Amino acid sequence: MSDDFWNKRASILQYHGELHRKKRQGQSIKRSTARTNDELYREAVEHTGHLSFSSLLRQYNIETKFANLTSNDILAATGIGVLGALTAVWTSALGRKVEPKLWANYDRNHPSDYFTGKDHRYPFGHDVLNINQKLPPGFIWRGRDVGGKSLIQMVNHAYPVSSGNPAAQALSSTTHLLVHWLRDFITPAGLPLPGSSRFTKWTKNVLNTCGYSSNNALMDTLGREFGTLHASDFTSIGLIKILNKGYITQQASIYSPDRFQIFDRQIKVISYGSCIIAQMAILMPIIIKDPQVRRKVDGAKLNLIMLGLFGKSVVDLMMLSEKEHQQILRNYEKSINTLLNSERSFEEWIKSLDS
């Protein structure tokens, strides 16, 4: 149906509402002589003026649109995301400076670093979900055959407790593992994805002092840019969460509870997305120019945890928007059925709105 039809209906509704109020107040009412809707509309315009359907809905605080972000909302959310990316860069740069001085003597000669080089964390010793990972048979470390030993056994041997107390040894080994992982966690290389060491393959190689070469198909493909966790991932997420909460809470009074949930997810989608894009913007030009240099750039990585939060916010937003859409359709259907009903039902609706 055309807008003209609904605008006429709105004008008639306003007219009937005015007649109903006068009747309740005991005022005399001139009986309508209209025989058709067009005649009734002209009579309504003569007495109460023309009223558009959208204006009628606004009078009764009936929302007809989805929650829309203002330009200030978009700018604020984007700015929060960019600040998150800058925080990641700062955290990585700070970690690069702090790590050499952080418990360096305590962490000396850690068995996790049996290899050196840029990718030595991928095969063994840095997977927080696989501390029982074992070295292949005949593996040589510091002149000893440690083949078949697990990471935790290696740490126990590297840092023995003089008392021989099992509980003290367990505490010492756990502490050494955590300290080593923490030091690696704040460096630009970070830690490999939890569980990724299960993709490690060992190949005998007499040219290496340990007797083996290794590769990890998953981490070799993802690289440090797309397959690691870093302290900067968490500092950027933490900052974005704090700033988002402050901004979203500040706007809470503007929205109904349902609309507020949508607004909340919209801001999160933009802020998380902006941070991810900003960090990728740091990385991509370097990849094109020199694939090797990119590994040394602070903050130039994909924040996998934030990517998950971004995806969750997108799904939540889709579900909330669909819920609101269905509610709007139900409200429209109810209103249309009422407006298309008899004049008596139409007047009853006016009375319910006026009560």
281 contacts 225 by C-beta, under 8 angstroms: no
- Provide mean pLDDT across the span 246-273: 89
Are residues 134 and 56 part of one domain? no
Q: How many CA atoms lie within 13 A of 107 on its CB side?
A: 17
- Which pLDDT score, from 0 to 100, does residue 236 have? 97
Least confident window among 56-60, 72-76, 174-178, 287-291: 287-291
Q: Find the domain containing 238 and state its range.
A: 71-91+232-325
CA 29, CA 344: separation in Å to the nearest integer? 17
Are residues 78 and 122 part of one domain? no
Residue 98 inside a domain? The answer is: no
Residue 57 inside a domain? The answer is: yes
Residue 285 inside a domain? The answer is: yes
Are residues 239 and 224 part of one domain? no
Cα of 60 vs its chain's centroid, Å: 36
- Which pLDDT score, from 0 to 100, does residue 191 have? 92
Are residues 316 and 282 part of one domain? yes
229 against 113, higher pLDDT: 229
Residue 245 inside a domain? The answer is: yes
Are residues 317 and 252 part of one domain? yes
Task: Say which amino acid occupies 78.
Answer: T
Question: Which residue blocks in 217-303 are alpha helix, DSSP H?
Answer: 217-226, 231-250, 257-289
- For 140, phi then psi, to 5°, come to -105, 125
- Which pLDDT score, from 0 to 100, does residue 18 have? 74
3-class DSSP state of 330? helix
Are residues 260 and 197 part of one domain? no
Are residues 198 and 171 part of one domain? yes
Q: Is the pLDDT of residue 114 over 90?
A: no
Mean pLDDT for the chain?
82
Residue 51 inside a domain? The answer is: yes
Are residues 18 and 55 part of one domain? yes
**Which tokens hold the place of 126?**
């840095």
Each residue of 148-177: pLDDT tens digit? 998 888 888 888 888 888 899 999 889 998
pTM of full prediction above 0.85:
no
**Which tokens hold the place of 71?**
């330009």
Buried b (16+ CB within 10 A) or exposed e, 229-255: bbbbbbbbbebbbebbeebbeebeeee
Residue 97 inside a domain? The answer is: no
Are residues 80 and 50 part of one domain? no
Are residues 239 and 312 part of one domain? yes
pLDDT band at 344 (very low <50, low <70, confident <90, very high): very low
- Which pLDDT score, from 0 to 100, does residue 340 have? 56
- Which pLDDT score, from 0 to 100, does residue 154 have? 87
247 contacts 240 by C-beta, under 8 angstroms: no
- Provide mean pLDDT across the span 128-137: 89
Domains in the chain, number: 3
Residue 96 inside a domain? The answer is: no
Query: Quick one: DSSP state of residue 142?
Result: T
pLDDT band at 326 (very low <50, low <70, confident <90, very high): confident
Give the helix/strand (H/E) hosting 145.
strand 144-145
Taking Cα atoms as reference points, which of 219, 150, 218 lies closest to residue 190? 219
Measured CA angle at 255 (ends 254, 258), to 5 deg:
170
- Which pLDDT score, from 0 to 100, does residue 75 have? 95
- Which pLDDT score, from 0 to 100, does residue 44 have? 77
- Which pLDDT score, from 0 to 100, does residue 143 have? 82
Q: Is the pLDDT of residue 115 over 50?
A: yes
**Which tokens hold the place of 21?**
């109020």
CA 184, CA 168: separation in Å to the nearest integer? 24
Are residues 343 and 270 part of one domain? no
Q: What percent of the chain has pLDDT over 90?
A: 31
Each residue of 180-192: pLDDT tens digit? 999 989 988 889 9
Are residues 209 and 113 part of one domain? yes
Residue 75 inside a domain? The answer is: yes
